Structure formats: structure tokens, C-alpha cells
């Protein structure tokens, strides 16, 4: 039988519940509207509303997970182009430092936080 980690589970619960502070922000990268839903110690989640071209830089050296939730667009990394459409998911490794999106799509991006 597997060992139960009851005390570790109890240690992660905060009573009474305190609603975490979300650091919601919005900005534009070219024709891409970015909404930051949360940027926490261990992860960040963003919505990318692509309505044309946007050029991105990965300055923190961490990977980015992308999920296309609507529409279609082209991801360009260097001279390579990748057609993306609704339902596709991919990982941009930390070695990808510059990339662009062009098209008409909605994506969810997530990445590790500063403590990850």
C-alpha cells in the first residue's frame, strides 16, 4: 500500500481561507493583446489575443507552454514557420529567446514563476 501524506496535506491548507491577491495586468505586444491572469512564485498564466503580428522575447530563460484555444495563427521562430490552430498545444523551450505570432487566434500561455 502507498504511504499516506496526511500531515503534508494538512500543512498546505490555510484556515480560515484567505483569497490570494491576483496581479492582473494587460498590455499590447504589437497586435497581440496580453492579459496576465496571475504571476505567482511557481507559475504564471496569460491570455494572448492575436489580431495581427506580435514579436516576443524570452528574457527570463524559462520555457513557455502555449495552447491555442480559438482561431489560427503562425508561430515564427527564426526562419521556421509553424501553422497553429485551435486544439494544438506546444512547448517553447528556454533556448527559444525570440518568437512571433501572426494571425487571428486566442492562446493561453503559462510558464514557471521566479521560484520554479
Grid coordinates of 31: 497586435
State residue 11's pLDDT score. Answer: 80
State residue 14's pLDDT score. Answer: 81
pLDDT single digits (tens) 8-32: 888 878 888 887 777 799 999 999 9
Is 90 exceeded by the pLDDT of residue 109?
yes
**Whole-prediction pTM:** 0.83
Q: How far is the C-alpha of 94 from the C-alpha of 89, rounded, in Å?
A: 16
More confident residue, 116 or 75: 75
Amino acid at each position: 500500500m502507498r504511504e499516506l501524506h496526511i500531515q503534508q496535506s494538512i500543512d498546505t491548507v490555510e484556515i480560515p481561507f484567505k483569497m490570494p491577491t491576483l496581479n492582473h495586468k494587460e498590455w499590447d505586444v504589437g497586435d497581440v493583446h496580453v492579459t496576465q491572469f496571475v504571476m505567482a512564485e511557481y507559475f504564471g498564466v496569460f491570455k494572448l489575443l492575436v489580431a495581427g503580428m506580435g514579436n516576443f522575447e524570452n528574457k527570463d530563460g524559462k520555457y513557455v507552454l502555449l495552447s491555442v484555444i480559438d482561431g489560427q495563427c503562425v508561430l515564427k521562430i527564426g526562419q521556421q514557420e509553424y501553422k497553429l490552430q485551435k486544439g494544438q498545444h506546444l512547448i517553447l523551450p528556454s533556448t527559444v529567446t525570440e518568437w512571433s505570432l501572426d494571425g487571428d487566434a486566442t492562446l493561453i500561455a503559462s510558464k514557471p514563476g521566479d521560484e520554479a
